[in-house]
């Protein structure tokens, strides 16, 4: 649920920010264009007046009529008094302070008040000024209405997006849960079958030995060896089942700083001693450390090398790589064995999977090695992929975050 909420939240946040950016830019551009039209009308009146210096006031009024411009024109005396020459249909008080007049001589300025407007001024002889102003109240009202409509649209769009995201994520979550349940059921069925087989063998030999139906010492020794083999096989399977259950519990371990370069090198040296006939190519970048459970990462590496020893020829080549890439460490281990069935590669998940059911009976393993590896990688917020190696066998690619 938390992951679903985070995905929905960040999706909505990004969509909202992008929509606000695009919508806000479009509205601002439209608002500026409308103000430029107001300024062009003011400039027309001012330029017409300046071209007729002998009758400047009448020229300004003529420009208003010629351009059908709805504006207020006042004459400001040296004492700051306003003499109205004409008023616009939308009456508004003019602020003809020297600050506004001085600023509006060179360019149009906005005066933001309860009744906003744009104004231009012309200096006249004897410290008088001609002021021309056009109301922008309608423009500002339209601007506010457009902002409100944009926010309402985003709110509605976000509500729809949240509903759709919730439905899609819920359906996807159900599908993944169903798939996981199917894999777990198959996994438990296989595990039960694997446990039943050695139990049947042990029970059979126990009854034979208990009823003295195996009399020869040599045959008794073989029977005990067979029972011992099946007990060890059961023990291995049970231990792996317990570890798998532990890894899939919703618990958080106290991770510590783990030198994966040193650990991988140590496990590789042990592997070389136990597999002297193999050609091993290794490229391990030194001094790479991650935050991890040392016991579980050690188990992961051990499982990889144990699977290679069990399921590949004694002289099959092996290639080991460890490198840092961004905020991750990449581990790649390849072998020249027979590999896995084709349908085992590129799966979405390797948990609760047993790729080597038949071989586990011959080698004494549980067949859960890859499932345990995948669970440990998931526990450390990493990723794993299986592919065909250029060496001919299996290539395991693991990415683990540094922190």
What is the per-residue pLDDT across 108-148, written as a single tens digit (0 to 9) for each? 999 988 899 999 999 998 889 999 999 999 998 998 898 88
pTM confidence score:
0.48
pLDDT (tens digit per residue) in 45-97: 999 999 988 888 899 999 999 999 999 999 999 988 999 999 988 888 999 99
Task: Look at residue 358 in the predicted model and tell me its pLDDT.
Answer: 44
In whole angstroms, give the CA distance from residue 44 to residue 148: 33
Task: Look at residue 176 in the predicted model and tell me its pLDDT.
Answer: 67
Average pLDDT on 220-230 reads 82
**Signed CA dihedral, 285, 288, 290, 295: sign only:** positive
Return the number of other C-beta atoms located less than 10 Å from residue 245's C-beta: 10
Residues sharing a CB contact under 8 Å with residue 294, sequence separation 6 or more, in sequence order: 256, 258, 263
- Residue 101 burial by CB count (10 A; 0-12/13-18/19+): exposed, middle or buried? buried
Beta-strand (E) ranges in 67-196?
A: 72-76, 82-86, 109-111, 117-124, 128-135
Q: What share of the chain is helix, strand, coil (3-state, %, to 5)?
A: 60, 20, 25
324, 253, 247: which is closest to 291 by C-alpha? 253
> Tokens for 201?
């063998």
pLDDT (tens digit per residue) in 273-326: 999 999 999 999 999 999 888 888 898 898 899 889 888 999 999 999 999 998
In whole angstroms, give the CA distance from residue 354 to residue 100: 83
Written out in words, the top-level CATH class of the domain with range 2-135 is alpha beta
pLDDT (tens digit per residue) in 379-403: 888 998 888 999 989 999 999 998 7
For residues 311 and 357, the answer to whether their CB atoms sit within 8 Å is: no
What does DSSP say about strands 328-335 and 394-401: parallel, antiparallel, or unpaired?
antiparallel
> Tokens for 276?
């002297």
For residues 388 and 338, the answer to whether their CB atoms sit within 8 Å is: no
Task: Please name the fold of domain 253-403.
Answer: Heat Shock Protein 90 (3.30.565)
Write the DSSP string, 281-308. EEEE-SS-EEEE-HHHHHHHHHHHHHHH
In whole angstroms, give the CA distance from residue 290 to residue 389: 26
Q: How many CA atoms lie within 13 A of 91 on its CB side?
A: 3
- What percent of the chain clears pLDDT 70, i.e. is strictly above it? 83
All structural domains of the chain with their residue ranges: 2-135, 253-403
């Amino acid at each position: 649920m938390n992951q679903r909420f985070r995905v929905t939240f960040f999706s909505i946040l990004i969509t909202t920010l992008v929509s606000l950016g695009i919508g806000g830019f479009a509205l601002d551009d439209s608002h500026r264009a409308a103000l430029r039209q107001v300024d062009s009308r003011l400039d027309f009146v001012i330029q017409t007046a300046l071209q007729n210096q002998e009758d400047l006031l009448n020229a300004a009024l003529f420009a208003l009529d010629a351009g059908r411009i709805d504006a207020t024109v006042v004459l400001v005396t040296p004492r700051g008094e306003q003499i109205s020459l004409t008023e616009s249909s939308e009456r508004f008080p003019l602020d003809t302070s020297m600050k506004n007049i001085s600023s509006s001589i060179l360019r149009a300025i906005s005066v933001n008040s309860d009744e906003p407007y744009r104004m231009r001024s012309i200096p006249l002889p004897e410290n008088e000024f001609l002021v021309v102003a056009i109301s922008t109240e309608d423009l500002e009202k339209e601007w506010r209405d457009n902002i409100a409509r944009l926010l309402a649209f985003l709110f509605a769009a976000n509500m729809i997006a949240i509903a759709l995201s919730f439905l899609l994520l819920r359906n996807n979550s159900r599908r993944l849960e169903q798939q996981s349940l199917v894999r777990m059921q198959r996994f438990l069925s296989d595990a039960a079958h694997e446990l039943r087989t050695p139990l049947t063998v042990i029970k059979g030999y126990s009854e034979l030995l208990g009823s003295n139906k195996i009399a020869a010492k040599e045959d008794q020794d073989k029977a005990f060896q067979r029972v011992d083999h099946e007990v060890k096989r059961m023990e291995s399977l049970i231990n792996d089942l317990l570890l798998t259950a532990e890894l899939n519990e919703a618990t958080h371990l106290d991770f510590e700083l783990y030198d994966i370069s040193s650990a991988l090198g140590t496990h590789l040296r042990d592997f070389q001693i136990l597999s002297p006939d193999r050609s091993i190519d290794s490229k391990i970048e030194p001094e790479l450390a991650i935050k991890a459970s040392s016991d579980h990462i050690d188990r992961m590496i051990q499982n990889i090398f144990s699977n290679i020893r069990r399921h590949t020829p004694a002289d099959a080549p092996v290639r080991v790589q460890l490198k840092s890439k961004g905020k991750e460490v990449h581990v790649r281990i390849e072998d020249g064995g027979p590999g896995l069935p084709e349908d085992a590669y590129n799966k979405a998940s390797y948990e609760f999977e047993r790729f080597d059911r038949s071989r586990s009976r011959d080698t004494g393993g549980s067949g859960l090695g890859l499932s345990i590896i995948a669970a440990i990688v998931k526990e450390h917020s990493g990723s794993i992929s299986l592919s065909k190696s250029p060496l001919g066998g299996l290539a395991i690619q693991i990415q683990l975050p540094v922190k």
